[in-house]
Structure 1
Amino acid sequence: MSDLALIYDGYGCDLALDGNDLQLDDGLNTAILVSLFSDRRARTDDQLPGASDDRRGWWADAYPQIDGDLIGSRLWLLSREKELAETLRRAREYAQEALDWLVADGIAARVEVTSSVPRRGVLQLAVAVRRADGRQENYQYDVLWESL
């Protein structure tokens, strides 16, 4: 099964083109991009950034095919956070939570996320996906902090 391919530029995603045609993605990159960079609804115990009371979330989560199934990540909650070890821990936790469905749905045997700050203002997420057949796929995303 193929998805429409997305390309990521540090700020957001766009559809990938091949000339005048849309590219397809037979791998996991597009699924991971949607999982990480779509806004999951904040939990009631999450502290929202700024003075907003908007808990965000994807509208279709109100009608899940599987009870409790949510799209996206809570990375957006970190948009006003300082680049501290605790923030990096939460970034890793939020990214891992967003990708856990890959294991639950049997697409991967294991998914491991690491987070780092390679330079000021950039959050780096490294995602290692171990497929059920033993193959490993590695992805890396450099996220500009203000675009979280």
Structure 2
Amino acid sequence: MSHFNLQALSAPISSREGMTHAVWQSIYNHAQATKNDQKRMGEMTRGGCWSESFLTLVASRGWTISREKLAPQILRMAKRFYEEALSWLVDEEHAKSVVVDVWEEDPNTMCWVATITLTNGDKFEVKP
């Protein structure tokens, strides 16, 4: 069984496959931690990606909460981080709207789903 679809790398963002790939990249790429993130984590880990200095990176600060207990505050923070990471899709008019729902599946498992409303009004969900 293959978990990778290499065609998604070159699929146009206007396709469902390309949009799904864009969402996953935006959520799973590590954005730089802010000073507040570093204080909350108790370490000065910067995160981010080496390519940030060369190109605009789509990324999320979600990695900064990976070791946190899944309290309601952390779930709200994850929702905010994911929606911020996906906001470029609306800003660049690839989508009309993006709504992210985050919930605690099990005591140690956070789940999310992004509902994308495309510019033509069609909606679809992207899940991990």
Superposition TM-score, scaled by structure 1 size: 0.72
Query: 2:102 aligned with 1:120, yes or no?
Result: no
Query: 2:90 aligned with 1:103, yes or no?
Result: yes
Whether the 8 Å CA contact 1:58–1:71 is kept in 2: the answer is no
Q: Name the structure where helix makes up a greater proportion of residues.
A: 2
Q: Displacement, 1:122?
A: 1.3
Matched with 1:37 is: 28
The AA in structure 2 aligned to 1:88 is L
Q: Displacement, 1:115?
A: 0.4
- Structure 1: any 5+ residue segments left out of the alignment? 1-5, 8-14, 17-21, 142-148
Q: Displacement, 1:121?
A: 1.7
Where does structure 1 differ by over 6 angstroms across 4 or more consecutive aligned residues?
none
Structure 1 pair 85–50 and aligned structure 2 pair: CA distance change class (3 A)? closer
Count residues with an aligned counterpart: 120
Deviations 1:120-148 (A, max 9, x none): 2211111000011100011222xxxxxxx
- Structure 2: any 5+ residue segments left out of the alignment? none
User: 2: CA distance between counterparts of 1:49 and 1:86?
Assistant: 13
Q: 2:119 aligns with which of 102, 116, 132?
A: 132
Matched with 1:145 is: none
Structure 1 pair 71–34 and aligned structure 2 pair: CA distance change class (3 A)? same
Matches within 5 A, 1:31-70: 31-47=22-38, 52-64=43-55, 69-70=56-57
Whether the 8 Å CA contact 1:38–1:71 is kept in 2: the answer is yes
RMSD of the alignment, in Å? 2.1
User: 1: CA distance between counterparts of 2:127 and 2:97?
Assistant: 16
Q: Displacement, 1:32?
A: 0.8
Matched with 1:73 is: 60
Whether the 8 Å CA contact 1:75–1:95 is kept in 2: the answer is yes
Whether the 8 Å CA contact 1:117–1:123 is kept in 2: the answer is yes
Q: Name the % identity.
A: 26
User: 2: CA distance between counterparts of 1:124 and 1:94?
Assistant: 14
User: 2: CA distance between counterparts of 1:111 and 1:48?
Assistant: 29
Q: Displacement, 1:43?
A: 1.5
Superposition TM-score, scaled by structure 2 size: 0.82
